[in-house]
Amino acid sequence: MRAFHLAVPLAITLALGACTSGGSGSGAPVAPIAAPFVSPTPTPPTVATFPLSLVIPTRIVSSAARSPRYVSQGTASFAVYDGTTLLFVGNYNQSANPQITTVFAKTGTTGVSGGSCTAAGTGSTCTVTIVTTPGAHSFDAVTYPVSEGQAATSVGRAPADIGTPPTFTGVILAEGELAVTLVAGTNPGQTVTTLGVADHAVFTNPVLTQHLNGNGALVGIIGTSYTFQYVINDAANFQIVQPPATYDNGPVTIAETDGGGIVTMTAISQVAPPAAAGPQSFSVTCAANGTATITAGAQNKPTATYASGLTYSASNYPTATIGTTTLQCVPNSATLPVTVQ
């Protein structure tokens, strides 16, 4: 697994330029934070400002010490949308100063006045201050495992103009939405809760001891139960753990998909990531002669319909199959040719 160590505090502060009162917030699919605000003054300002934050955990050298979160340690960039409007794209570098480099920041009536990161606990909190109109807004945050635009890790790519949205690369690590109704003036800050995108399942097969035909492949024996371990990782190869309580593209399913009934197992439909880092497990029992294919799957698009309206494809989102493993089962039978002399 790659050892990404990233701590990006992302705080997006929205400053509303117009003093229109807010509309209704868009549907917040997974962990929306509905934060309606009441105008405090009889003469409302024309704009609303809103600090929006995103906490990015620090990359830690030791895997044991890692604290995978719904915002991946592998986060290298993030984007903030207001509805379908891209407001901000920033690259994050934990060891840089400043940690956030603006790739794109929208200006105008709805724009971002700036972005910065500050250390916060085991990570960094990156905040952008959004200026927009009062009323209902749905702010989406999307994180990526690679830098966008002029990021150093984007080989050969010229830095993007701050006024030009980049062409995003990389499979989305996590995304989330915050539906709020803003009031004129400065609104309380909110932190976006993003959901990890299950990108691939890493299986650890059971330790088999029987070689077929003496020195052939390791196989399972019909009638014997075997335990597989697995972890569900994001595109940066970090395990997705709670919080929050769901995957962005969940549930993650694990089942035999060869159709041959080679093994018996209780199919898994895992809605919630594990509470703590570490492998999970399931058991199968060899039931017939053959090779069982066990497949981990997820949705190839978010369970929720985000306001950003992104188009999801294999280039920016996992496919439906996020991992497979196999187990060859053979009868509990051996033949031994013997020559007696």
Binding site for other proteins (CB under 8 A): 210-216, 219, 221, 330-341
Residue 70 · residue 174 · CB < 8 Å: yes
Q: Shortest distance, CB of residue 271 to other proteins, whole angstroms?
A: 38
Map tokens 């003054």 to a residue: 41
- The number of beta carbons lying within 10 Å of the beta carbon of residue 42 is 5
Burial (Cβ within 10 Å: 0-12, 13-18, ≥19) of residue 291: middle
Contact 46, 19 (CB under 8 A): yes
CB of 226 to other proteins, least distance (A): 14
Closest to other proteins by CB, 12 or 219: 219
Q: Report the 10 Å Cβ neighbour count for 200.
A: 19
Closer residue to other proteins (CB): 36 or 216? 216
Q: Which two tokens stand for residue 154?
A: 């984007």
Q: What is the distance, to the nearest Å, from the Cα of residue 100 to the centroid of all Cα atoms in its chain?
A: 20
In the complex, the smallest distance separating the C-beta of residue 251 from other proteins, rounded to whole angstroms, is: 36
Helix (H) or strand (E) holding 282: strand 280-286
- Contact, 160 vs 150, CB < 8 A? yes
CB of 210 to other proteins, least distance (A): 5
Between β-strands 280-286 and 290-297, what pairing exists: parallel, antiparallel or unpaired? unpaired
Query: Which residues does residue 108 pair with via DSSP β-bridges, in sequence order?
Result: none
Nearer to other proteins, 202 or 218 (CB): 218
Which CB sits closer to other proteins, 114 or 223?
Answer: 223
| Residue number with CB closer to other proteins (163 or 337) | 337
Instruction: Quote the tokens at residue 109.
Output: 């009536």
Least Cβ distance, residue 335 to other proteins (angstroms): 5
- Strand 48-57 to strand 190-191: parallel, antiparallel, or no bridges (unpaired)? parallel
* Token output for 279: 């492998």
Q: Name which of 35 and 221 has its Cβ closer to other proteins.
A: 221
The residue (of 43 and 215) whose beta carbon lies closer to other proteins is 215
| Smallest distance from other proteins to CB 148, Å | 53
Output the six-digit token pair for 190: 């909110």
Say how far apart CA 70 and CA 83 lie, in whole Å.
Answer: 22
As measured in angstroms, the least distance from the Cβ of 224 to other proteins is: 10
Evaluate whether 257 touches 327 at the Cβ level (below 8 Å): no
By C-beta, is 1 or 212 nearer to other proteins? 212
CB of 34 to other proteins, least distance (A): 59
> Which residue, 158 or 340, is less far from other proteins as judged by CB?
340
Q: Answer yes or no: are the C-beta atoms of 147 and 76 closer than 8 Å.
A: yes
Q: How far is the CB of 331 from other proteins (least distance, A)?
A: 7
Residue 326 pairs in a beta bridge with: 293
